[in-house]
Amino acid sequence: MIIRKSIPIRYWMIIISFLIVGLIISGKLPYIISMVQGKTGEEVVETCHSLYNFSISHPEKWNPQLFGQSGLHGDHDLKLMITNGRLGPIILIYYHAYQNPALRQALNWSNAKIDIPRDAEIETKPITVDSDIKAISTKYREGNMITEIVTFTRDDGMFLIVFKGSAEDYKKDSKTFRNMILSFGYCQNTQSE
């Protein structure tokens, strides 16, 4: 015969109190509360690249770097890099001017621009950007690193929005990345950040 004893409520209160104190000390309590509420607690700002007439919203604490015609380190198509102030992830936006490109042309450009390893696990699916722009998302994993490439076109050119980070970064920031993609659009004004 098994005899079950219930734990008095005061012991549960002590256990919960220790857990809360531990979370407060570790600085995780605000993060856990925001997760439960479904919020990140971060303010969102818009970065506009007036030279190429695109904008994207991102967490205020993340750092955008705009690049002009010469791009970065010889990559003329790289126009914006957004980092969150730690080692990862990195969001890259590439733009290539092309009059009325087809999505197939953009995918060919994407494949030439981003070298996907042969042995990588690849997942491809259609998505929507800016409520009416059709796009293709290509996600691959190489070791612990995850890269997601969102490829799409506008009447003035082709775009890639790229997430690069660890699997842990992707798990933590993939919702932020999705929101950034959905926020992508034309600049509302002519000033760049």
pLDDT at 5: 61
Cβ within 8 Å of residue 120, ≥6 positions away = 140, 141, 142
Share of the chain above pLDDT 90, in %: 64
pTM recorded for the entire structure: 0.76
Q: What is the pLDDT of residue 190?
A: 46
Q: What is the DSSP letter of 35?
A: H
Q: What is the pLDDT of residue 45?
A: 95
Phi, psi of 31 (to 5 degrees): -65, -45
Q: Please give the mean pLDDT across all residues of the chain.
A: 84
Residue 24 pLDDT > 70, yes or no? no
Q: Which pLDDT tens digit goes with each residue over 91-133?
A: 999 999 999 999 999 999 999 999 998 888 899 999 888 667 8
- Regarding beta strands 133-142 and 121-129, do their DSSP bridges make them parallel or antiparallel, or are they unpaired? antiparallel
Buried b (16+ CB within 10 A) or exposed e, 119-133: eeeeeeeeeebeeeb
Token pair for 78: 């790289």
Written as six digits, the tokens of 9 are 């409520």
pLDDT for the residue numbered 6: 63
- Residue 33, pLDDT > 60, answer no
- Count CA within 13 A, CB hemisphere, residue 157: 15
Confidence of residue 85 (pLDDT cuts 50, 70, 90): confident
